[in-house]
């Protein structure tokens, strides 16, 4: 009997040890996303990202623990939005930035994002700030749903401080939710939310990422009808997520069959199939495009104007500035060597200088 107990005890210790080792191994696989460097730029190995995992707190130790000088390279899609696994990492990484103690110095944002290698252009700055704002709003919404009860007094909520929330911030947040202004805004938001009849099925993956993946798979560009169907069908069975989506897809397919030209990318924004079925686009966003593009990015003629075209336009201005500078340099040389009309050359020189200054000032706007 004593031998049996000793054997059971040893087996119990062994089971605990094996359990601990397995737990540790799973944790390492979950958090230890490997980053491979290439000429000072790191790329993410996505082999372990295909496994379905429960969503928890965003930690990303593989990004935070990158060696000095190594960065995760992020590629951009046609509309200047992050794509690929690395683009998803950048989107997730923007959430923890909200935990910074102070935003008085914007340099903090740049130092944190130095973990990533991406084009420093206005479109990306806009995308990052929109991403942070979206996560900030979602975080507050989740806190309110999980920890706030409008029937309880302020003192009750202060006794139940949520994890990862500072007491001073929680106090201000609960005070606002309990105020007349906060309740009025909440009712307005609830009413607006109730009007939303169309739900997408992308989850955490952005429109830009799913678009890039599908276009690479099919070998062709997707139009907005393609993107709407792709983002509003269930993964299993490829069926619409609900009745409202099914009716919208049916109407789009009917219109596309009769008027296929309304599905082309050069169709005016509010005259394509998606807008005809769902209504005109509102300021600040465009359906099926995700964070970044908005109606004002389209030309006055309503034909599509991608950010890449803007970049080409800016590059053209840079070339014009360079050309003017070369002319200015040649004029200066001519001024030194010629015995002709010095005053006329000086006038030309001043005129060219003014043109360069005006064009440079315009490009900085």
Short-list 228, 302, 315, 286, CA closest to 79: 286
Query: What's residue 339's pLDDT?
Result: 56
The 8-class DSSP code of residue 298 comes to S
Burial class (CB in 10 A: 0-12, 13-18, 19+), 157: buried
Asked if residue 173 and residue 283 are part of one domain, the reply reads: no
Range of the domain at 139: 35-48+57-194
Asked if residue 70 and residue 125 are part of one domain, the reply reads: yes
SS3 351: helix
Asked if residue 180 and residue 61 are part of one domain, the reply reads: yes
Is residue 311 in some structural domain? yes
Residue 17 exposure: Cα atoms within 13 Å on the Cβ side: 6
Short-list 260, 263, 191, CA closest to 227: 263
Please check the confidence at residue 22 and state whether its pLDDT lies above 80.
no
113-147 tens-digit pLDDT: 777 888 888 888 888 888 888 888 888 898 999 99
Asked if residue 236 and residue 267 are part of one domain, the reply reads: yes
Asked if residue 93 and residue 182 are part of one domain, the reply reads: yes
Is residue 213 in some structural domain? no
pLDDT band at 293 (very low <50, low <70, confident <90, very high): confident
**Residue that terminates a domain, selected from 297, 316, 340:** 297
Query: What's residue 44's pLDDT?
Result: 45
Is residue 100 in some structural domain? yes
171-224 tens-digit pLDDT: 999 999 999 999 999 999 999 888 887 878 777 788 888 889 999 999 998 888
Is residue 161 in some structural domain? yes
- Report in angstroms the alpha-carbon separations of 77 from 80, 206, 243: 5, 12, 32
Query: What's residue 89's pLDDT?
Result: 82
Highest mean pLDDT among 162-166, 193-197, 343-347: 162-166
**Residue that terminates a domain, selected from 255, 271, 297:** 297
Asked if residue 154 and residue 224 are part of one domain, the reply reads: no
Please check the confidence at residue 41 and state whether its pLDDT lies above 50.
no
231-266 tens-digit pLDDT: 888 877 778 878 888 888 899 999 888 888 888 877
Short-list 27, 23, 49, 45, CA closest to 36: 45
Asked if residue 67 and residue 189 are part of one domain, the reply reads: yes
Asked if residue 260 and residue 152 are part of one domain, the reply reads: no
Asked if residue 186 and residue 61 are part of one domain, the reply reads: yes
Cβ atoms within 10 A of the Cβ of 116, count?
23
Number of folded domains that form the chain: 4
pLDDT band at 302 (very low <50, low <70, confident <90, very high): very low
145-158 tens-digit pLDDT: 999 998 998 889 98
Asked if residue 242 and residue 183 are part of one domain, the reply reads: no
Is residue 204 in some structural domain? no
Asked if residue 185 and residue 228 are part of one domain, the reply reads: no
The 8-class DSSP code of residue 280 comes to P
Is residue 240 in some structural domain? yes
H/E/C letters for each residue in 148-187?
CCCCCCHHHHHHCCCCCCCHHHHHHHHHHHHCHHHHHHHH
Is residue 203 in some structural domain? no
Asked if residue 225 and residue 168 are part of one domain, the reply reads: no
């Amino acid at each position: 009997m004593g031998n049996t107990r000793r054997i059971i005890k040893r087996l119990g210790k062994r089971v605990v040890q094996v359990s601990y080792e397995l737990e540790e191994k799973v944790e390492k696989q979950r958090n230890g996303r490997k980053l491979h460097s290439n000429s000072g730029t790191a790329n993410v190995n996505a082999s372990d990202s295909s496994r379905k995992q429960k969503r928890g707190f965003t930690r990303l130790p593989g990004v935070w623990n990158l060696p000095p000088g190594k960065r995760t390279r992020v590629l951009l899609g046609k509309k200047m939005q992050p794509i690929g696994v690395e683009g998803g990492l950048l989107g997730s990484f923007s959430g923890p930035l909200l935990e910074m103690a102070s935003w008085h110095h914007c340099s903090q944002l740049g130092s944190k994002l130095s973990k990533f290698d991406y084009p420093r252009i206005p479109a990306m700055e806009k995308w990052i700030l929109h991403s942070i704002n979206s996560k900030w709003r979602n975080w507050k919404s989740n806190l309110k749903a999980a920890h706030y009860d409008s029937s309880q007094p302020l003192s009750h909520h202060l006794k139940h401080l949520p994890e990862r929330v500072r007491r001073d911030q929680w106090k201000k947040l609960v005070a606002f939710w309990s105020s007349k202004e906060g309740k009025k805004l909440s009712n307005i938001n609830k009413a607006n939310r109730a009007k939303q009849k169309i739900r997408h099925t992308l989850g955490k993956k952005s429109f830009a990422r799913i678009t890039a993946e599908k276009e690479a798979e099919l070998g062709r560009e997707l139009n907005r009808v393609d993107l709407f169907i792709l983002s509003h069908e269930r993964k299993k069975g490829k069926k619409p997520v609900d009745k409202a989506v099914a009716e919208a897809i049916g109407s789009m397919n009917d219109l596309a069959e009769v008027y296929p030209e309304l599905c082309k990318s050069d169709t005016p924004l509010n005259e394509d199939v998606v807008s005809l079925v769902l209504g005109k686009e509102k300021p600040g966003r465009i359906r099926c495009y995700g964070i970044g593009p908005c109606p004002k990015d389209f030309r006055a003629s309503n034909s599509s104007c991608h950010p890449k075209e803007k970049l080409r336009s800016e590059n053209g201005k840079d070339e014009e500035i360079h050309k003017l500078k070369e002319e200015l340099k040649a004029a200066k040389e001519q001024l030194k060597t010629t015995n002709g009309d010095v005053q006329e050359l000086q006038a030309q020189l001043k005129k060219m200088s003014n043109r360069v200054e005006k064009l440079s000032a315009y490009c900085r706007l």
